[in-house]
Amino acid sequence: MTSCVNGEARANNDEEKSFEEKLQLITRNLQEVLGEDRLVDVLKIRDVKIYWGTATTGKPHIGYFVPMTKIADFLNAGCEVTILFADLHAYLDNMKAPWDLLALRTEYYENVIKAMLISINVSIEKLKFVRGTEFQLSKEYTLDMYRISSLVTEHDARKAGAEVVKQVDHPLLSGLLYPGLQVLDEEYLKVDAQFGGVDQRKIFTYAEKYLPQLGYKKRVHLMNPMVPGLTGDKMSSSEEDSKIDLLDDPATVKRKLKKAFCEPGNIENNGVLSFAKHVVYNLMPETEGLDIKRSKENGGNVTYYKYADLELDFGNENLHPGDLKIAIEMYINKLLEPIRKTFSHPKLQKLTAAAYPQLSRKLAKSEADPSRLELKVGKILSVEKVWFKQFSSFGLFLLIVDQFFIQHPDAETLYVQKVDLGEEAPRTIVSGLVSFLTVDDLLGQKVVVLCNLKSSKIRGVESMGMVLCAYTENPKQMELLQPPGDTFPGERVSVEGYESGAPDEQLNPKKKVWENVQADLKTSREFVAQWQGNNFMTLSGPVKCKSLIGAKIK
């Protein structure tokens, strides 16, 4: 593939640039710069040291080309650039990267970002790659974390992470620590400036306030604009329809772009136009333009050498969304082809499958897809311990409440529970938890309920769901899966990475969807319920059991 990057600019990279040229390259296309006077002061003396950090959570997507184009500018301006793979940050942000997968996902990020930079002709020899856990677990760093925690209020910590860390009414302490780590990274990486999206502005102002209180200098903060995803909202790794994965094949790129929000004449929150503005025109030589192929009846072929002209024609509806999408599709495939080629290597394919295990099994939707399960938060309103005795001569079952029955050795003990699921009436659910949990253990508890199983009669009582538990065989133990305390009855529980799927109205027993999904359900070392390493999540955080590690879930 021919380079999509301005070849003339790359060729001049080693030539001595003037102060004005360097400043222009560093600051062009940014939405905001905090501390530009400090940037100027450093640049008058020497080249600037900049770092960009990325938390190693979901898989990087084409939106990552936006910061990559600025990293190319920084390098072209002679800056010393460090890319921080923020593995510890990834764990602290509601455990978006489970500890078991942290090292694998960091390795994946390093390989895929190197492939991205090479695809736009950025020399990685001039870059420094650092993993957060290489220095964030040191004695000095840890002591500084204690020092900053003695200065910061809970209000300021929450405010700083408002646009970056998942916000809930009762946040985990880990999420409150997250901004402090990002502040200290500036000092421990010994940089002059931090680069990031404008969504991190509150963390940047937090750094400017608290670093001097620790005796460290303020840094410059360089902010990129936020680029909308294909749905018109923020591009997200966890929202499949909002982004194009860096390893998507051409057919998938076509399909996703075809569905992308690109309303005729609408230039606001338009992910296709934004990609053209922030990636295509930043990488394309000024002598080249974006070629639009179309029939004579639709205006004929046209080349846009400036983004402003492209936007003007689109806004005036002189350029059809379908024609724009075809041109962007071709450009994206040119960018992605060398990345796909790099990741065709068996070693990297194995790494991808291990770091993101949901991709390791290419199952048909009928076999295993956790988004087909309707999982909800429930609250147990009442519990009755009931004895069931079979009268073999009649083939009938008698149901008698515990306090009015003398136990018979042939009787089986079960609980009949009324569970609030945010519906008009509570559901009746029968469960065999008597040997593990008392009535008091269950009454009033919030639980996770599988709601779209086909209802069944158990000893003559219709059961309309299943309360999920973690269990071990040796020794035999069972604990409830419990959502965070500030969840509400009826709130959806989803599997991370599968949030956009629609659950079946009712699971077909013949297709064994539940059985196939259940085979890969277990608890992590942090007691979090997971499917193939992906957390069960609510709006308030992950679903956990009390103490069982590596337990199966049923």
> What does the pLDDT profile of the chain (554 residues) look like in tens digits?
333 444 434 434 445 789 999 999 999 989 999 999 999 999 999 999 999 999 888 888 998 999 999 999 999 999 999 999 998 888 876 566 677 788 899 999 999 999 999 999 888 887 999 999 999 999 999 999 999 999 999 888 888 877 776 655 566 777 788 889 999 999 999 999 999 999 999 999 999 999 999 999 999 999 999 887 765 555 555 455 558 899 998 988 988 888 888 889 988 888 899 889 988 998 888 788 899 998 888 889 999 999 999 999 999 999 999 999 999 999 999 999 999 999 999 999 999 988 888 644 443 444 578 888 999 999 999 998 876 554 443 344 444 444 433 333 344 678 899 999 988 889 999 888 888 888 889 999 999 999 998 888 887 788 899 999 999 988 889 999 999 988 888 888 988 878 766 788 888 887 888 888 888 899 998 899 999 888 999 888 899 999 999 999 98
* CA separation, residue 153 to residues 148, 181, 184 (Å): 10, 15, 17
pLDDT at residue number 301 = 92
Q: How far apart are CA 241 and CA 238, in angstroms?
A: 9
pLDDT at residue number 362 = 40
Structural domains of the chain, with CATH: 19-224 (3.40.50.620), 250-355 (1.10.240.10), 370-553 (2.40.50.140)
Cis peptide before 346 (omega within 30 of 0): no
Classify residue 206 as exposed, middle or buried by CB count within 10 Å of its CB (0-12, 13-18, 19+): buried
Q: From its phi and psi, is residue 459 left (phi > 0), alpha (psi between -120 and 50) or beta?
A: left
Task: Give the number of other CB atoms < 10 A from CB of residue 110.
Answer: 15
Q: How far apart are CA 554 and CA 515, in angstroms?
A: 10
* CA separation, residue 436 to residues 408, 469, 470, 474, 480 (Å): 20, 11, 11, 14, 10
DSSP 5-70: S-HHHHHTTTSPPPHHHHHHHHHTT-SEEE-HHHHHHHHHHSPPEEEEEEE--SPPBGGGHHHHHH
In one letter, which amino acid is 405? Answer: F
Closest CA to 456 of 415, 509, 388: 509
Cβ contact 520:458 at 8 Å: no
Q: From its phi and psi, is residue 320 left (phi > 0), alpha (psi between -120 and 50) or beta?
A: beta
Q: Directed axis angle between helix 321-342 and helix 250-259, to 10°?
A: 150
Q: How many residues does the chain have?
A: 554
pLDDT at residue number 228 = 78
Q: How far apart are CA 234 and CA 393, in angstroms?
A: 66
Residue with tokens 């070693």: 347
pLDDT at residue number 167 = 54
Classify residue 208 as exposed, middle or buried by CB count within 10 Å of its CB (0-12, 13-18, 19+): middle
Q: How far apart are CA 179 and CA 184, in angstroms?
A: 9
Q: How far apart are CA 331 and CA 290, in angstroms?
A: 9
**Is pTM, for the whole model, over 0.95?**
no
pLDDT at residue number 155 = 86
DSSP 221-232: EEEEPP-B-TTS
Token readout for 447 is 């639980």
Q: How far apart are CA 308 and CA 327, in angstroms?
A: 16
Classify residue 127 as exposed, middle or buried by CB count within 10 Å of its CB (0-12, 13-18, 19+): middle
pLDDT at residue number 394 = 39
pLDDT at residue number 12 = 43
Q: What are phi and psi for residue 330, nearest 5 degrees? A: -65, -40
Q: How far apart are CA 430 and CA 447, in angstroms?
A: 14
Where b means 16+ CB within 10 Å and e means fewer, 521-536 reads bbbbeebbbbbbbbbb
Q: How far apart are CA 319 and CA 312, in angstroms?
A: 9
DSSP 160-216: HTTTTSPP-SS--HHHHHHHHHHHHHHHHTT-SEEEEEGGGHHHHHHHHHHTGGGT-
